[in-house]
Structures are given as C-alpha cells and as structure tokens.
C-alpha cells in the first residue's frame, strides 16, 4: 500500500487501512470483538503471549484488526507519520498524548484558544502532577521563543482555536520547537490531515477528535493521536500503561465514516462558506470568525497553509445580550441545539469563550456547525433567526 501516496486523496481514503489480512477479502474491515485470544498450546503462548505486539493478536486491550485497520488508515493519510493510537474519545487522546510527553517539573505552553477540557486537564491533573502551564496568544507565531524557559518541555496548539477560530502559525512554532528541542502537539480536529497535514508542517503529535469528521454521523465517541517519525514508541507505551483501548464497534464505524470524509468535507466547506459570507453582509452581525474570511484573526496564515476549510465557525452579534441571542437560536428550525460537531446535521450553540480567554469577539457569539442540508434552506432559517433577534434586541 506504500505507493498509495502517489494517488489523489479521494483514492487514498478509499483504500487506506484495507489490508487483505485484516479484511479477509470483504470490502469493509469486519468487527473483531475480543478480550481473550486463544493460543495453540503452551509453547505458542510462551512464544507469542507477551506484550511486545505489533499487529499480532495478544489480548483484546492491544487491539484487533478492526482497530489496526483504522489506525493504519489515519497514519497513511498523514504524510510523515510513523503510527497512530486510538482512544475512546478526543479528550482521552489529548490526555494520553500529554501524559506521554510531560513529566513532573515540566512546563507546558498551551494556546489560549484551546478547547476548554484541554485547559481543564492542564489546570487539574497536570497541575496536580507538578506540571505547570503557561497560556500563550494564538497569534504569537515565532514570538513563542520569548516564552520558552528552562522547564518548558512541550507546546500544545489548536488551530483554528475553539469558539474564536484564530489560526496559528504552526510551521513557525514548529521550527522554534525543533530548534529548542521541544515537543509539539496539535489538536487538528477542525481541519484533519486532509486540509492541514500537521506532521509535514512540523508537528510531532497530530490529534483528532474522530468523534467529529472521521465518524461524521454524530453517533460515536472516538479519538486518535498520529505520531511523527520516531515519536510513536513513547505514545504507545503511555497508552498501554494507561490501559487505553477504543472499542472495535466504534472503530468499525470510524472506518466506515472515514471513507466519505473527503466528500463530506468539501460539502461542509461549500455550504459553510455560503452561510458565512451571507452572515458577513448582515447588519445584525458584528463579525464572522471563519478562517477563510479576512475578518478572522490569522486568515493570512490560513490562506498560506490550509488546503481548504471545514464546516464550523462562529459569528458575533452586534449587541443584543443573552436573551436576544437565545431568541435567535431558539427560532431556528434546521439547526439542532447541542454540543459536538462534524456530523451530517447542522447545529447552533451560544459560544462563551469564558473568563480568562484573551480574545474579545466584540459581541455575543453564536457557533454554527454547517451540515449537509441545502445551504439555501440554512440561510433562510438563519434569516428567521435574525428576525427573532431583532425583535428581542429592540
Ligand atoms: C477542538 C476539539 N477537540 C477535542 C474535542 C474532544 O473530543 P471528544 O468530544 O471526542 O472527547 C472537541 C469536542 O468538541 C473539540 O471541539
């Protein structure tokens, strides 16, 4: 399968991870559920019944062809990657990657626009284990060098940032990190390796909440960490020690979702851009935080580094307060109100970056996940929502 890198991405995504020894000849890798693996005799157990496994059945916690197939597919879609480990959620993936890298006494540089549970992990368990965290401005770029101290060990990026969508200069930060011997991690859930090949851009660990675009149907929790060259062993060791395993049924659904991810992402992109541009022209809207629009902080870096955009962005209302924002969201018919994103259906939530975040969006924020519905229907729905906002804000 190594020659697949020469194919276009749509071809690669159809073929990735489907080794014949794992599929047995059927198209989709089947679900192998296991705890116990049976050995032929005691000699076989002595020979193969030890934990030093690689794509060899040993014990259910070390995976079966169902998990190996999805992990292998994600590795092959990330140029420069050595291997991928799967987790029962995106947050579990973030936690395992950070625990693989950090030790007591270390300092972590964490982007200020990181997903809230990533900050909670840094301020909670990592702090308890003697690891300090320093937040940095998402637009810092190569200026991150000023923040590096003797204890700094790793830089955790998320680009674009959660809720406020600032795009980071990942290559500049990666270059500084390499020069200073630091490890870099990126929450790459928004773009995936298809729109932002993180390891090729200088990242050591590329993290996905597969719950979003890989699964694509809002019905499975799943996470992954893809490691750059010579970075996989510490990740695998930490994940084994933590007892992490993603369920085979969930990985099977992840593999199934992955096959259509490139097609879905293009549709998410097209519709989200149509909605974002329409919102940008509305007097009720103060600003649109979509990385592909010049109004988004870091837009020039987005244009330089990304192969496209996905379906999640925010917009800030021109005032109105909490009740008017709620009136807008409650008036929407086609947008569900709920957390997560990356599924086929549209969602809207009030977004509150929270105290402590340096970013000020300039008005109450609404975050939209644009699904696979007709963009014209979504725009008409938002038009109704903005009318409700006007009535409530008056
Ligand atoms: C940017 C980002 N990273 C990570 C996660 C966590 O993923 P999960 O919900 O699978 O734990 C989320 C979930 O919303 C997210 O938005």
Q: pLDDT tens for residues 79-126?
A: 999 999 999 999 999 999 999 999 999 999 999 999 999 999 999 999
Ligand 1 atom at minimal distance to the Cα of residue 162? 1
First to last CA, the chain: 61
Residue 261's pLDDT is 98
- Name, in order, each residue with C-beta under 8 angstroms of 41's C-beta and a sequence gap of 6 or more: none
Question: Is there a contact between 189 and 213 (Cβ–Cβ < 8 Å)?
Answer: yes
Q: What is the largest CA-CA distance in the chain?
A: 80
Residue 53's pLDDT is 75
**Which residues does the chain have with pLDDT short of 50?**
1
Among 89, 98, 209, name the best residue to mutate to test ligand 1's pocket (greatest count of ligand atoms within 8 A of Cβ): 209
Residue 1's pLDDT is 42
Ligand 1 atom at minimal distance to the Cα of residue 94? 4
pTM, two decimal places:
0.97
Residue 54's pLDDT is 84
Residue 356's pLDDT is 56
Q: Percentage of the chain with pLDDT > 70?
A: 98
The span from the CA of 151 to the CA of 103, in Å, is 10
Q: pLDDT tens for residues 158-181?
A: 999 999 999 999 999 999 999 999
Residue 241's pLDDT is 96
Mark whether 44 is an active-site residue.
no
Give me ligand 1 centre to Cα 393, in Å: 32
Segments in 77-180 forming alpha helices (H): 90-101, 116-121, 127-128, 170-180
């Amino acid at each position: 399968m190594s020659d697949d890198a020469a194919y276009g991405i749509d071809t690669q995504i159809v073929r990735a991870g489907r080794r014949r020894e794992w599929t047995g000849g059927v198209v989709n890798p089947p679900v192998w559920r296991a705890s116990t693996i049976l050995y032929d005799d005691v000699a076989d157990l002595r020979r193969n019944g030890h934990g030093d496994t690689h794509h060899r059945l040993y014990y259910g916690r070390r995976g079966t062809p169902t998990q190996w197939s999805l992990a292998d597919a994600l590795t092959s879609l990330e140029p420069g990657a050595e291997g991928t480990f799967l987790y029962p959620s995106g947050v579990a993936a973030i936690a395992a990657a950070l625990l693989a890298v950090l030790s007591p006494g270390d300092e972590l540089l964490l982007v200020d626009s990181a997903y809230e549970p990533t900050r909670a992990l840094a301020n909670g368990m990592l702090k308890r284990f003697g690891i300090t965290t320093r937040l940095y401005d998402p637009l810092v770029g190569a200026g991150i060098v000023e923040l590096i101290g003797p204890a700094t060990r790793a830089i955790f990026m998320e680009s674009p940032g959660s809720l406020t969508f600032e795009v980071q200069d990942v290559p500049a930060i990666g270059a500084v990190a390499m020069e200073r011997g630091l490890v870099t991690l990126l929450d790459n859930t928004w773009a995936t390796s298809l729109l932002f090949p993180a390891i090729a851009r200088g990242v050591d660990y590329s993290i996905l909440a597969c719950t979003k675009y890989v699964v694509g149907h809002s019905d499975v929790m799943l996470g992954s960490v893809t490691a750059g060259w010579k970075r996989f062993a510490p990740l695998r060791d930490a994940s084994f020690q933590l007892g992490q395993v993603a369920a085979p049924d969930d990985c099977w659904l992840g593999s199934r979702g992955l096959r259509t991810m490139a097609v879905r992402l293009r549709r998410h992109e097209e519709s989200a851009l149509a909605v974002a541009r329409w919102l940008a022209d509305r007097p009720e809207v103060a600003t649109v935080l979509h990385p592909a629009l010049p109004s988004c902080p870091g837009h020039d870096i987005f244009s330089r580094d990304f192969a496209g955009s996905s379906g999640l962005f925010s917009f800030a209302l021109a005032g109105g307060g909490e009740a008017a924002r709620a009136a807008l969201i409650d008036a929407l018919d086609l947008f569900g109100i709920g957390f997560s994103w990356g599924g086929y259906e549209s969602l809207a939530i009030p977004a509150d970056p929270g105290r402590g975040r340096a970013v000020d969006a300039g008005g109450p924020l609404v975050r939209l996940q644009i699904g696979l519905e007709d963009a014209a229907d979504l725009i008409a729905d938002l038009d109704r929502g903005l009318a409700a906002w006007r009535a409530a804000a008056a």
